[in-house]
Chains A and B, each alone.
Chain A
Amino acid sequence: NAGVTQTPKFRVLKTGQSMTLLCAQDMNHEYMYWYRQDPGMGLRLIHYSVGEGTTAKGEVPDGYNVSRLKKQNFLLGLESAAPSQTSVYFCASSPRTGGPGELFFGEGSRLTVL
């Protein structure tokens, strides 16, 4: 059981280049999220989705776009990368539930923008 899979694991970009991070989950979860982790800042929510075809902004959405065309996939796009977007990106998913809403995370994607 793969859980949450992120592609690619590592990427180096030059300023102004574009790229897409792919997140795939095989748990049939309704909700999906993209977070970034920076030293001293913890995990900050970029965008999230509560169902196929829906997306919403999180705390730090500027410079990113997302799409959820299929329930199992959540794509994070950077149209014009900036050095400030150097970070580790985590995708997560959770089921629709009345409980704590535990998130299941991928292993992370380390992005460096030069």
Chain B
Amino acid sequence: DQQVKQNSPSLSVQEGRISILNCDYTNSMFDYFLWYKKYPAEGPTFLISISSIKDKNEDGRFTVFLNKSAKHLSLHIVPSQPGDSAVYFCAARGDYKLSFGAGTTVTVRA
């Protein structure tokens, strides 16, 4: 049973606008949440993380929000740039390992 879910397979956004990616989880024991970015034919690369005791973490254009009561997190990218076109994976850490969502493909239109 998938413990981390990304229900939107794809997202298309205009350059300069905000991209919002969503992720839901079921296991309340997860202690960290991470976002990874993946380009075709490359391995995923770490983007940003948040501890389960925080509700927001910001790094440049990227902000992650965590709502523990709803078991929901989101990644905001603003402003979106063409280089942001990629697959984004949400991940949650528990017991030494990360559980990943299915990914959301973001396309930034010029």
Majority secondary structure, B binding face: strand
Are B43 and A100 in contact, with the CB atoms below 8 A? Answer: no
Are B98 and A103 in contact, with the CB atoms below 8 A? Answer: yes
Chain A 73-114 near chain B by CB (<8 Å), digits 1 or 0: 000000000000000001010000001111111111000000
Among A4, A33, A40, A99, the residue within 8 A (CB) of B102 is A40
Are A105 and B44 in contact, with the CB atoms below 8 A? Answer: yes
Within the complex, the shortest CB–CB distance from B61 to chain A, in Å, comes to 19
CB within 8 Å for A107 and B103 given contacts A31-B96, A100-B34: no
Are A43 and B32 in contact, with the CB atoms below 8 A? Answer: no
**Residues of chain B contacted by A13 (CB below 8 angstroms):** none
Within the complex, the shortest CB–CB distance from A61 to chain B, in Å, comes to 12
Mark B residues whose CB is within 8 Å of A: 4, 6, 9, 32, 34, 41-46, 49, 51, 89, 91, 93, 96-103
A90 CA / B32 CA spacing, docked (Å): 21
A40 CA / B6 CA spacing, docked (Å): 10
Within the complex, the shortest CB–CB distance from B39 to chain A, in Å, comes to 10
Within the complex, the shortest CB–CB distance from A13 to chain B, in Å, comes to 20
CB within 8 Å for A41 and B34 given contacts A102-B46, A105-B44: no
**Residues of chain B contacted by A105 (CB below 8 angstroms):** 43-45
4 interchain residue pairs of minimum CB distance: A105-B43, A100-B49, A42-B102, A43-B100
